[in-house]
Structure 1
Amino acid sequence: MKNKNGQAYMFLTPFLILVTIFYVIPAVLTVVMSFTNLDSSFVWEFNHFKNFIKIFKDPNTLVIVRNTLIFVGVAIVATVFLNLLFAVLTTYFVKTERYSSIFKAILMIPMITPAVVYSVLWIWLLEAGEGGMVNRVYLSFVDSQPINWIAKYPMQIVLCATILVNIAYGTIIFSSAIKSIPENQFKAAHVDGAGEWEIIKSIIIPNIRYHIQFIALWEALGLLTNYVTILLITNGGPGIQTEVWSLSAYHKAFNDQQYGYGAAISLMLILVVLVLMILMNKVMQKQNER
């Protein structure tokens, strides 16, 4: 037994070392930095809770919180709805595996495209001048001036770009869950004269409710911490119209070089994510008990 344990520890040691170096130590340093006034001078001076007080006094904080809630809330609802819609269409209504696989492969293109390339494509399509693809189509129907779409509809654009990236994963999860539903349930429903909407509402959704909860939680955690798409397309602008909490931490730390303040913003986000995970876990446990 001791030899087996020794072998297990031997194989785990390189992995544990990497996790410690790249995850545990940076996390500890972030917590420590949040209580300092560390800046470009790299002088570590503890200032206790001044960074957190500064966050609450910042007049932009409420705007950033509002942007974050809108961004995360709309993206989660839209993503889960579209995931469910495409999963039902490609799994329940389209019985041919070949066609449904082709459609899912198309959905995966934004997800597997590098973030930089994907964002540049959006910027190119929405170019403000007459050369922009969207403006070309728009001006072919309307006699008007070209529109700066990113400046006029920044939040709508980053939401669309983010939702398109997130659709494929949930669709595949939901499709697999729908396939696992016993065929007898659908046959019995058809014999009883149930319509398609009744089957979706009474059979499909109840059977995949845990998958829906998982995707909703997964998307919430990802959206709260991921800012790459917004950074590359709008950089939080115009002004701070698309500045979300995680992007704010990045800007404070790397643009303004207020590393301690940026770490404090990140720490608050980590606490919010932790509380969200605990609440969602309790909700799922209560539903399982029922």
Structure 2
Amino acid sequence: MSTSTGVTGGEYLLNQSGIRALADKGLNTATLDQLKNAGYVVDEKGLAALAERHGVATATEMRKLHENGQFSSRRDMERALKSLKANKIRSTKDRKAAAELFKHSLLNERFPTESKFRTAITEGGIPLEDHELIVTQAYTGWVWTVDNVKLLFSLPSTLRYAGNTLIYVTLTLMFNIGFGLFLAISTFYLPAKSASTFRAIWFLPRILPPVMYVLLWKWLTWDTGFIATTLSWIGVAPINWMLDTSTHAWVVVVLINGSFGASLGMILFSSAIKAIPSSILYASEVDGANRWQQVRYIILPHLRWPILFITSYQTLSLLTSFEHILLSTEGGPGRATEVWSLAAYHIALDNYGGNLQYGLGATFAVALVIIGIIASLFYLRFFNFNEMVAKPKIEG
């Protein structure tokens, strides 16, 4: 099916992606070669252009000798032009340019209507029995179909993207929540001035532009960066700590995104801890509770709402975010860190061959929405949301 958005109103366009799709659907090799290769047809459009460039007499003689003639190569077209007697095009360069006036290529040419596209493939010598398959593939308008869903589940890379996403979200979420809680609790017991300083430092990843933030990590991890240079002093050979192996890549990706997410958790958890009545903490100290007991029996129970929010928010954010991975490893080495959202971006918007598969990319994105809804419902159940919003028993 088409890979276009359909915004243009349903034109007909064949590109390399479409050719590959037709091959997968069983279109014979000879027809595929015809579609990929340019042909030359002596038609009215070409004759008009020839008359404008080389004169009416030349176009008239060409019409008389070769009207509606079809040629499979530019050399054959040049020979046809060379056969002119009264109005020769003597220069080889001019004959080559004149031959291009009659060039017909179905590849990457837009046709506004189905009839014009059918005419073009007929003139290109495409067998009639192949027309329907080609027309369906070339249509760029909206088509309600589940073909992209079937393709999504049939791609061998789909399982890899799902596994990478599970690893990425799980490890980064654990780092975000755990490290954010650690920062919030540890700074809570510091003097106010010191606590504010440490929180400001740890909030830097959140306020830095992503490009600058990732560039700092590259400076740390490249084979000419800070870590490699420092370790070289004790005889460790310099390597790219970001991309040397897939394990290195995953560690760096989790640290980059984890430090970024933990800064938000630190701020929210710190605010929630400060909202706990100080009288409760003072009373626990009078009863002989140490700080670990305060954390376990007072602070953590009061953080159920913030933990629910951060867990849900960070899960949805990690499912859909890919900018830090794109800027750091770009899904590498190989596809080791290519997560689902990054794959959707590459498929739909960043194909170096120019064959942007909007439909398949959108299918990847819709799958993320469904996964996000399921994850949200799971968190509401896991944290016992109904109990959290129930009226206090004293009001009952």
TM-score (norm 1): 0.81
What's the CA shift for 1:173?
A: 0.8
Partner of 1:53: 150
Partner of 1:183: 278
Question: Structure 2 CA distance, aligned partners of 1:243 and 1:282?
Answer: 30
Partner of 2:240: 148
Question: Structure 2 CA distance, aligned partners of 1:207 and 1:177?
Answer: 8
Aligned 8 A contact 2:175 2:262 in 1: no
Question: Structure 1 CA distance, aligned partners of 2:236 and 2:380?
Answer: 52
Question: Structure 1 CA distance, aligned partners of 2:350 and 2:144?
Answer: 21
Pick from 369, 384, 395: which aligns with 1:270?
369
Pick from 335, 359, 366: which aligns with 1:260?
359
Q: Equivalent pairs: percent with the same residue? A: 33
Choose 1 or 2 for highest CA Rg: 2
What's the CA shift for 1:101?
A: 0.8
What's the CA shift for 1:174?
A: 0.8
Q: Does residue 62 of the first structure (1) align with residue 159 of the second (2)?
A: yes
The runs of 5 or more residues in structure 1 that have no matched partner are 1-27, 31-36
Aligned 8 A contact 2:6 2:142 in 1: no
What's the CA shift for 1:286?
A: 3.1
Query: Which residue identity lines up with residue 263 of structure 1 in the other structure?
Result: A
| Richer in helix (by share) | 1
Q: Does residue 137 of the first structure (1) align with residue 137 of the second (2)?
A: no
TM-score (norm 2): 0.60
Question: Structure 2 CA distance, aligned partners of 1:246 and 1:287?
Answer: 34
Deviations 1:14-37 (A, max 9, x none): xxxxxxxxxxxxxx989xxxxxx9
Pick from 168, 173, 181: which aligns with 1:71?
168
**Does the C-alpha gap of structure 1 residues 258 and 90 become closer, same or farther in structure 2, counting only changes over 3 Å?**
same
Query: Which residue identity lines up with residue 378 of structure 2 in the other structure?
Result: L
More relative contact order, 1 or 2 (CA 8 Å, 6+ apart):
1
Question: Structure 1 CA distance, aligned partners of 2:329 and 2:215?
Answer: 11
- Give me the CA root mean square deviation: 2.3
Question: Structure 2 CA distance, aligned partners of 1:234 and 1:185?
Answer: 47
What's the CA shift for 1:137?
A: 0.9
Deviations 1:100-142 (A, max 9, x none): 11111101111111011111222222122xx32110011112x
Partner of 1:5: none
Aligned 8 A contact 2:219 2:226 in 1: yes
Query: Which residue identity lines up with residue 150 of structure 2 in the other structure?
Result: I
Question: Structure 2 CA distance, aligned partners of 1:105 and 1:226?
Answer: 24
Aligned 8 A contact 2:242 2:329 in 1: yes
| Pairs aligned (count) | 252
What's the CA shift for 1:44?
A: 2.0
Deviations 1:177-235 (A, max 9, x none): 11111112112211221221111100000011111111111111111111000001011
Aligned to 2:259, what secondary structure does the other structure show? helix
1:19-30 aligned within 5 A: none
Partner of 1:222: 317
The runs of 5 or more residues in structure 2 that have no matched partner are 8-13, 18-107, 111-138
